[in-house]
Amino acid sequence: MRIGRVISGEKRVTVIFNGEKAYDATKIFEMPEWHLEKDFFKVFTENELAHSAFSNEYVVDKIDSYLSPLRYPGQIRDFYAFEDHVKNSRRRRGLDMEPEWYKIPAYYYTSNSNFVPHNGSVDFPPFTKELDFEMEVGIIIGKGGKDIPEDKALDHIFGMVLMNDWSARDLQRREMKIGLGPSKSKDFAMGIGDSIVTLKDLKPLLKNGKFDIPVETYLNGDLFCESNLKRIYWPIEKLISYASMSSMLKAGDFLMSGTMPGGCITEMPMENPRWIQKGDEVLMQSPVLGVLNNRVV
């Protein structure tokens, strides 16, 4: 199931995408929008949709704009989980791999208050001259838990969504020297895709412990990179289990994959890279997870 939230005729509507059409979930489940948003995880995990649910009378004919597919996001933990990305980024700075990286799946906390939806605009932050993007996948927790064992971890996933972790690289370098990790350099915009794809639809893509989910990014219409979630070093079960050690994960929390290999300007082997500028458009898309397009203004 692909779930989104849109503005249609000045109304906020939760929709279910089926093929090329969007269907009004409030009509399918016969409940008001506020109720559906409040009990989002309960509604979408406890109700099976019959084919008859996709009636033509439930079609949303016009989508004026997109919203974050999850209205009430919880905490966001952003992992650093792709070995190739880490190697490439550190090599550009003349650094070798840190042995500790292979021992623990490191992450940092980032803001849940600056989501930019599909087709939304990103305001160019005044504190950077090196604006970058990061092609990532967000894993959304649907069932809370503490000290979750790895063999039970997938049961806690609600679904996945495309995400773009916008980053101010020059400020990030200064912050990292302090030793606390990135802060304001990643606390101004977080792109989120047009839809959440639920775990039921993703399970067939699970092979050898990894989800086979291709993603590609276009910069101003030109292909920038192609990658796949299956290239992740740390299995998603490990990320969930590690994050829940002595800590409660709650429904609505995000675990972000970290940047997929090749999925940012920082990784590129260029002496003087062209950073993102006003007017640039970054499009991320996946045949599985949908689309995320943002223009910088």
Domain boundaries, the chain: 2-67, 76-296
Residue 93's pLDDT is: 75
Residues in the chain: 297
Contact 132, 166 (CB under 8 A): yes
pLDDT tens by residue, the chain, 297 residues = 999 999 999 999 999 999 889 999 999 999 999 999 999 999 999 887 877 789 999 999 999 999 999 999 999 999 999 998 888 888 777 778 888 999 999 999 999 999 999 999 999 999 999 999 999 999 999 999 999 999 999 999 999 999 999 999 999 999 999 989 899 999 999 999 999 999 999 999 998 889 999 999 999 999 999 999 999 999 999 999 999 999 999 999 999 999 999 999 999 877 789 999 999 999 999 999 999 999 999
Between CA 160 and CA 169 the distance in angstroms is 26
Residue 86's pLDDT is: 87
Which uninterrupted H or E stretch holds 199? helix 199-202
Contact 65, 119 (CB under 8 A): yes
CA 112 to chain CA centroid, nearest Å: 12
State the alpha helices, DSSP H only, in 24-82.
25-29, 33-38, 40-46
Residue 50's pLDDT is: 72
Residue 89's pLDDT is: 81
Cα angle at 274 between 270 and 276, to 5 degrees?
135
Residue 94's pLDDT is: 76
End-to-end CA distance of the chain: 33
Which uninterrupted H or E stretch holds 138? strand 135-141
DSSP letter at 36?
A: H
- What's the burial of 78, exposed, middle or buried (CB within 10 Å: 0-12/13-18/19+)? buried
Contact 136, 160 (CB under 8 A): no
Beta bridge partners of 15: 4, 24
CATH topology of domain 76-296: Fumarylacetoacetate hydrolase; domain 2 (3.90.850)
Residue 286's pLDDT is: 98
Residue 97's pLDDT is: 84
Q: What is the pTM of this model?
A: 0.96
